Structure 1
Amino acid sequence: MTAFFNRFRIGLLPMYVLLTILISFVTSCSKDELEIQNDFPFEVKVMPIPKEIVNDNTVEIRLEIQPTGNYSNTQYYLRYFQFDGQGTLQYYDALPYLPNDLYPLQAKQFRLYYTSKSTVSQSFDVWISDNFGNEKQLSFEFNSSN
C-alpha cells in the first residue's frame, strides 16, 4: 500500500509544479499590462451638399460616424456654433439645436437639417465628440442665393 501512495505522490508532483507556474504567471501580470481597448478614434463622413441656399429653405446634411474599432458603450455627441449669418440646425424633426449645447446622438448614421434664416452667406461648425474625449470638427458654408 505504501508503494501505491508513493507513486500517487510522484504522479501529482508535475501537477503541483504546473499549478505553481500558472499561479506565479497570473499574479505577475498587473492590470496595466492587460489593458482592454475601448477608446477608438473616429472619422465623420459627410455626403456632398449644395453650396448655395435660399432664405427659408432647408438643406439636408447626411453624416456617418466611422470608428476605427467597435466598443458598444461608446456614446457620441454633437454641438454646433454658427458664426456667419443666421439659421437653424436640427436632427430630423426634433427641435432646433441651441448653439454650443451638447446633444447625444442616437445613431452613427444620421441626417441634420439646416434652414436658412438669412439673406447673406452663412457659416457654422459642427463638433462631434465621444465619451472618451475624441472630437472632430466639421465646417459648413452656404452662399446666399435669391
Structure 2
Amino acid sequence: TRYTIRYFQSDGKGLLRNDNGTVFKPNDRYPLTKDVFRLYYTSLSSDRQTIDVYVEDNFGRMQQLTFSFNNEKAENKEKSSATVTKVLKDEDS
C-alpha cells in the first residue's frame, strides 16, 4: 500500500513539515515513505489556528485528522503545542 499526505489550513498561518525536513505546501500531496513519522507545526500568527491533515492510500481510503491550536500567554511568551499519536493500518492487516 502506498500512502500520501496533504494538509489544509482554515484558520491562522503556519508551516507544517515532517521529520525529514520537507515543508508541506497546503493541499499539495506528498508520499509517505516511512511507517512511523513525525509532523512539526510552526505558528506564524498569534490567532487561533486549525489544520486538517489527510492521509490517503492508493485504494482511495482517507483518514482526516484536525488539529486546533490556541496560543496561551505564559510569562510574557506565547506558546502552543499539541502531541498526537495516531496509528493508521491497512484494513487487511
What's the CA shift for 1:96?
1.2
Q: Distance in 2 between matches of 1:128 and 1:93?
A: 17
Q: Distance in 2 between matches of 1:110 and 1:93?
A: 9
What's the CA shift for 1:144?
1.3
- The equivalent residue for 1:92 is 19
- The equivalent residue for 1:105 is 32
- Which structure shows the higher helix fraction? 1
Task: Report 1:78-89 matches (<5 A).
Answer: 78-89=5-16
Q: How many pairs were matched up? A: 73
Larger Rg: 1
2:73 aligned with 1:119: no
Residue from 66, 70, 74 that aligns with 1:139: 66
Q: Distance in 2 between matches of 1:75 and 1:95?
A: 18
Spell out structure 1 runs of 4+ moving beyond 2 A. none
| Partner AA of 1:128 in structure 2 | V
After TM superposition, the score normalised by the length of structure 2 is 0.75
Stretches of structure 2 lacking an aligned partner (at least 5 in a row): 73-77, 79-93
| Partner AA of 2:55 in structure 1 | I
What's the CA shift for 1:95?
3.1
Q: Distance in 1 between matches of 2:23 and 2:36?
A: 19
- Which structure shows the higher strand fraction? 2
Stretches of structure 1 lacking an aligned partner (at least 5 in a row): 1-73
After TM superposition, the score normalised by the length of structure 1 is 0.48
Percent identity of equivalent pairs:
49
Task: Report 1:64-75 matches (<5 A).
Answer: 74-75=1-2
